[in-house]
Amino acid sequence: MPELSQTDQQVSDGANLIISMLVRYPEIGTINFNPEVNLLKLTFMVSGIPTYGEFERTKQLIINSIAAYHMLEGIADISIDIELSSYEQVAIVTVIRDVQTLTRGEINLMIKLLQERFSERLVTDHNDSMLEEDLLFQEAVIEDMLENMREQDNDHHNLIGIREDGRVFVFNK
């Protein structure tokens, strides 16, 4: 039986984090983890392309709300960026966050803001079979994996998680 090395554990924590986030938050389309800069890229899809003004207002709302959230939590020096791209009639909103200061509460806040801003236009992969206990379990796993990734030196494995037809896939890039 092969032994797990420290590197294997890092891949496992990163993969578990991505899987749990995609399972718990059906609004997230893909998650990309770049260990070289310790950043997560969360992508959300919006049907239709928002105007430049609508996107900028949403971007500022999210950035200001997250800054206020972190100020209340006593967390300083966060790294956040929000980008917009499009493909045909779908807008792709990418939120780039550092793992060191990212929290589950912030993810909930971010998704709530996107839901309020884009309502039914926010593409969501509904999974009606998820029970409340499953959601609570996924939230606990997310919190644990974020903590593990903060404590480890993640320097080897780029991971990408995608959602397709109700399934979640994680790949080592």
Q: How far apart are CA 96 and CA 119, in angstroms?
A: 22
Q: How far is CA 25 from the centre of its chain?
A: 8
Angle between helix axes 104-118 and 52-73 (nearest 10 degrees) is: 150
Which pairing describes strands 39-47 and 167-172: parallel, antiparallel, or unpaired? unpaired
**In this structure, what DSSP letter does residue 74 have?**
T
Q: How far apart are CA 96 and CA 81, in angstroms?
A: 5
Return the pLDDT at 129.
63
Of the candidates 59, 36, 35, 33, the one whose C-alpha atom is nearest the C-alpha of residue 46 is 59
Summarize pLDDT for 157-168 with one digit per residue, the tens: 789 999 887 788
Summarize pLDDT for 28-54 with one digit per residue, the tens: 999 999 888 889 999 999 999 999 999
Summarize pLDDT for 100-156 with one digit per residue, the tens: 899 999 999 999 999 999 988 999 987 666 667 777 888 888 888 888 887 776 556
Of the candidates 28, 63, 6, 38, the one whose C-alpha atom is nearest the C-alpha of residue 138 is 28
Q: What is the pTM of this model?
A: 0.85
